Amino acid sequence: MSTPSPVVNVMQRAAVAAGKALRRDFGEVEKLQVSKKGPADFVSNADVKAERIVMNELRKGRPNFGVLSEEAGQVDGSDSAHRFLIDPLDGTTNFLHGLPLWAVSIGLEREGELIAGVVYDPIRDELFWGEKGRGAYLNQERIRASARRNVAESLFATGIPFKGKGTPQEHQEFLAEMGAVMSVSAGIRRWGVASLDLAYVAAGRFDGFWELGLNAWDYAAGSVLVREAGGYVAQMDGAPLRPDSPSVIATNGYLLHPLLKLLEGASASQKSP
């Protein structure tokens, strides 16, 4: 077992503190005040409270780091080289519908490179964490991406577009992608929690994941986990993943190119005259 670095310890404390508060609120989800933020996208009192807890804990440990958070936006710090990327409640829609599939996600960027990540699932008390060059872990145990090489035996995860996310053409392209993958694989799952999807790729529970239209805080932590677990993460055009990338594809060490080929072929079929 590797010992977390001091900054990852700070991130872990922040994620667990916020997760405990969210777990309490989840038990009273029907009593929460909910305001509409956009089509099929909601923000709750629990979301805002969790962000406040995360921000306070991170500031205690690293007061000079900048922050990019789903709710607070960009908050600059005096240390311009480091920035936390926070999703205090990834899976808000699940949370508000009483589905026990949501997480706290905290990534760390240094000079434009994602170098550390923590994803906490409070319902299962599973703390995924990893850091560049130090491996990826679930609680105290080392995790590794799966070793499957055959798409037919592989299980994939994705994010399905919904009202207000994506154009009608993009929706059709996604349906083509789903058709291409499901016809040759062991199945596809859609949970609506990108951070957990990526953590599960890192842990070998999923063999691959892809999604368009994500934000940096959605994949910052999970992408580090996948890389440190021996998997690959990229944009859906195969380009390197950056903190401002609009799409993500992640797989174990063997399925990146087969999955890319399937998705690219499906997309091309929708664009053909």
CB neighbourhood size of 165 (10 A):
16
| CATH number corresponding to 151-271 | 3.40.190.80
CA atoms within 13 A on the CB side of 21: 18
Q: Please tell me whether residue 72 adopts helix, strand or coil conformation.
A: coil
Kindly state the tokens that stand for 35: 């305001």
pLDDT at 122: 97
Q: Which are the contacts of 28, defined by CB distance < 8 A and separation ≥ 6?
A: none
Which helix (H) or strand (E) segment is 135 a member of? strand 135-138
| CATH number corresponding to 6-142 | 3.30.540.10
> CATH 3.40.190.80: which residues of the chain?
151-271
Q: Between helices 256-271 and 168-182, what is the axis angle to 10°?
A: 130
**pLDDT 10s per residue in the chain (273 long)?**
678 999 999 999 999 999 999 999 888 776 666 666 554 455 578 888 999 999 999 999 999 999 999 878 899 999 999 999 999 999 988 988 889 999 999 999 999 999 999 999 999 999 999 999 999 999 999 999 999 999 999 999 999 877 767 677 778 888 988 899 999 999 999 999 999 999 999 999 999 999 988 999 999 999 999 999 999 999 988 899 988 888 999 999 999 999 999 998 887 777 655
Among 138, 109, 97, 108, smallest CA distance to 121 is for: 138
> CATH 3.30.540.10: which residues of the chain?
6-142
Rounded CA-CA distance 228/215 in Å is 21
- Buried b / exposed e over 71-100, threshold 16 CB at 10 Å, is beeeeebeeeebbbbbbbbbbbebbbeebe
